Structure 1
């Protein structure tokens, strides 16, 4: 059934029509439903191993990829574009399903190539070259210590299998463990490794932003979870306190920066850094509640942030600008767009019953076990999240529209389905949490 869902999604996406993609998306997700069960596990010839975390990320990858096709049907060079999206989706499925650390690392780095081609080929500003350079330097330089650590463990007599290493390797003998996780800190990203993210988001097309926010940022959290099986993370160790303190403090600063942004796309991009700081806290806590909260936040952020980037793209298509001062008055012009913007904004601020709410509640429980200072930082980040989420809605939907702005297309039914496709699972997957 799982392979049937994968093949049906790929087949109908290759056809290229909106109706076919929509039908394949929902039918494929229905066939992939067994992957979301709590006790699901699978093993195939020692090359593929799936558990709850990997299966959830695979379903998220396929779902976001289908929504990307729906929101980008009219792009130039659609065949080349669809080939890149399918390649990225295939690599992500291999990453989340790999049983070997070396296969995971190869796919982890390979996804960078089609993403760079997507930004270079379909970006619309000359600054995309600088964004690509930032992204390439940060990700490649950060991953070099990781491959050294994995090779050191393998040539010391260890296995390359993820599950085998978790059971056989003594965590205390893995030296310089915090140097190995720099690759995942860059991919999350957390402060101060976040500079490439805002540039890549701003210069990428809408599909590139949806991939970066909805899928690629989850590689950092997923890799962190896998590496925690062989790396010793002491709650009161000096490296852990330093990394966690800097990451949370940077997340609080970027959350404050979101309120002062004048670019809608940059605002949504910087908001991702604050959400990923919650994931960092949950992963390094070494508790069941922390890991579950991190998974819920990754899943909720992947759906909500991808929907917000798609929403900003529709506003840009109408006004021709991403500036907040030139995107106003949509409540009178297109009430349907305003309704969807309200739904996504309140979900981004962790309102019930979204997945972000359950994840942040678990993070507050974990933060209270650390210190009052961390709990205070989490409170500020959650409050600022509500501030900039309401700022997105009020500043763009209310007010008087620009006098020279005339809408050049209506908010189509397909666009509404794309927006609603992000919001529905974000607010109804809580039924699986209980």
Structure 2
């Protein structure tokens, strides 16, 4: 049945209709919620779905629906190619989240890079988008080759049996498997490709990159953790130390940014460092907290990129210095900025708050000294979120800006479709668990 639905999605491309495709994606979300169980189900021999992949698949389709709604101007710029790339990327991500065979997961994990690069290079803003695409390509490929070597080594030594791997203490396999995911997340010091890719990508590219593609890394870590638990226990302290220190360093660098998209990209690195720390504690609370934070960050960062694009379409600049005093121009949109900025700080009742509390408890039980780093990280995340909100909405109006509309229905709908699930899902957390 799912094959029929995906096939009909691609058939809508023949009608050149973005509205029809958006409605089909909403129907696909409802179809999965109504007819698929969150428990482990077998789609085919190598394709399974459990509660983690279930939620990430729904998030993927939801963000794809919002991507199409955020790009109305692309109907004048190779619309069919753009829609095909978006649907192809969505399909590859769904297949990645469903794959239980490690080689199949690697193939889909790497293939998802191609549509992402085409979206950035084809619909990006400046000529530097080619340079950003090369950064994305070479960082990912550099980390993926050790992963491929590790997988081939496992196959050649008949180590695909999960019981053999659980008793394995091969450090090279562990490093090869985790390095690719750490660069995808990205871990601090492996993050240099992310701000470049976000700044040059179109709004739809930034949404899928921050909302879903970063989650591929943490999803891969969760899957590999069950294969080699002993290695994760032995070496987890290294990744936690880098993540906590890196989160503080990145939060400080957020305070120095004047480009809105660059600041939001760096804030993604700071949030994902907490997710890595939660996973590496090997604690159930940390795992569930990281999972909640993945969902919350996927919706929140995507909404922030939408808001940055709304300002960019009117002022022609992403600079915080030029986009000042938006409260005078777009008073209704200021409410949207406040709602999403407060969600970025993990204010109640967002799903990110539940995730952050669980990660805090998990890290405190792992080592009480983590509280020092976590308190700094939480304080700085509030600082840069309020800095972004106050500098864009308040202050003197830039003299080059004049007479533009205060937002249309499509833009308010777009932001609310991020904010409503982000806040209401906490009322029924069993949907995710």
- Normalised by the length of structure 1, the TM-score is 0.93
Structure 1 residue 171: Cα displacement:
3.6
- Aligned: 1:223 with 2:224: no
Partner of 1:149: 150
Partner of 2:118: 117
Give unmatched runs, 5+ long, in structure 1.
160-164
CA separation of 1:207/1:233 partners in 2, compared to 1, >3 Å: closer, same or farther? farther
CA separation of 1:407/1:303 partners in 2, compared to 1, >3 Å: closer, same or farther? farther
Whole-Å separation in 2 of the counterparts to 1:313 and 1:95: 29
- Aligned: 1:372 with 2:372: no
Whole-Å separation in 1 of the counterparts to 2:217 and 2:17: 33
Partner of 2:63: 64
CA contact (8 A) 1:34 1:40 kept: no
SS at 2:82 equivalent: helix
Partner of 1:351: 347
Summarize deviations over 1:142-196 as a string: whole Å, max 9, x none: 111111111212221233xxxxx44553343433213420000000001110000
CA contact (8 A) 2:165 2:228 kept: no
Summarize deviations over 1:261-315 as a string: whole Å, max 9, x none: 1110100000001111111111111121111111111111010000100110010
Structure 1 residue 65: Cα displacement:
0.5
CA contact (8 A) 2:125 2:200 kept: yes
CA separation of 1:293/1:115 partners in 2, compared to 1, >3 Å: closer, same or farther? same
SS at 1:325 equivalent: coil
CA separation of 1:66/1:246 partners in 2, compared to 1, >3 Å: closer, same or farther? same
Which moved further from structure 2: 145-154 or 342-351? 145-154
CA separation of 1:168/1:35 partners in 2, compared to 1, >3 Å: closer, same or farther? farther
Whole-Å separation in 2 of the counterparts to 1:307 and 1:101: 32
Partner of 1:189: 186
Of the candidates 239, 253, 259, which is equivalent to residue 255 of structure 2? 259
Whole-Å separation in 1 of the counterparts to 2:95 and 2:422: 24
Summarize deviations over 1:311-341 as a string: whole Å, max 9, x none: 1001000110011011122222222211111
Instruction: Trace 1:220-299 onto structure 2 (pairs within 5 A).
Output: 220-233=217-230, 237=234, 239-299=235-295
SS at 1:261 equivalent: coil
CA contact (8 A) 2:22 2:68 kept: no
CA separation of 1:303/1:150 partners in 2, compared to 1, >3 Å: closer, same or farther? same
Summarize deviations over 1:342-398 as a string: whole Å, max 9, x none: 110000100011011011000100110122332211121111111111111111111
CA separation of 1:48/1:397 partners in 2, compared to 1, >3 Å: closer, same or farther? same
CA separation of 1:205/1:214 partners in 2, compared to 1, >3 Å: closer, same or farther? same
Instruction: Trace 1:5-404 onto structure 2 (pairs within 5 A).
Output: 6=6, 15-17=15-17, 19-34=19-34, 39-75=38-74, 76-159=77-160, 165-167=161-163, 169-176=165-172, 177-233=174-230, 237=234, 239-404=235-400
SS at 1:191 equivalent: coil
Whole-Å separation in 2 of the counterparts to 1:35 and 1:101: 27
SS at 2:226 equivalent: coil
Whole-Å separation in 2 of the counterparts to 1:77 and 1:250: 40
Give unmatched runs, 5+ long, in structure 2.
none
SS at 1:228 equivalent: helix
CA separation of 1:80/1:172 partners in 2, compared to 1, >3 Å: closer, same or farther? same
Whole-Å separation in 2 of the counterparts to 1:8 and 1:93: 16
Summarize deviations over 1:402-421 as a string: whole Å, max 9, x none: 12212445511111111111
Whole-Å separation in 2 of the counterparts to 1:415 and 1:388: 24
How many residues of Structure 1 are paired with residues of Structure 2 in the alignment? 427
Whole-Å separation in 1 of the counterparts to 2:407 and 2:417: 15
CA separation of 1:389/1:241 partners in 2, compared to 1, >3 Å: closer, same or farther? same
CA separation of 1:386/1:295 partners in 2, compared to 1, >3 Å: closer, same or farther? same
CA contact (8 A) 1:297 1:359 kept: yes
Whole-Å separation in 1 of the counterparts to 2:14 and 2:341: 33
Whole-Å separation in 2 of the counterparts to 1:184 and 1:318: 37
Summarize deviations over 1:16-67 as a string: whole Å, max 9, x none: 5454344334333222214886x42211331210001111111111110010
Which moved further from structure 2: 17-26 or 375-384? 17-26
Whole-Å separation in 1 of the counterparts to 2:217 and 2:313: 32
Partner of 2:402: 406
CA separation of 1:179/1:103 partners in 2, compared to 1, >3 Å: closer, same or farther? closer
SS at 1:229 equivalent: helix
CA contact (8 A) 2:255 2:387 kept: yes
Whole-Å separation in 2 of the counterparts to 1:353 and 1:221: 24
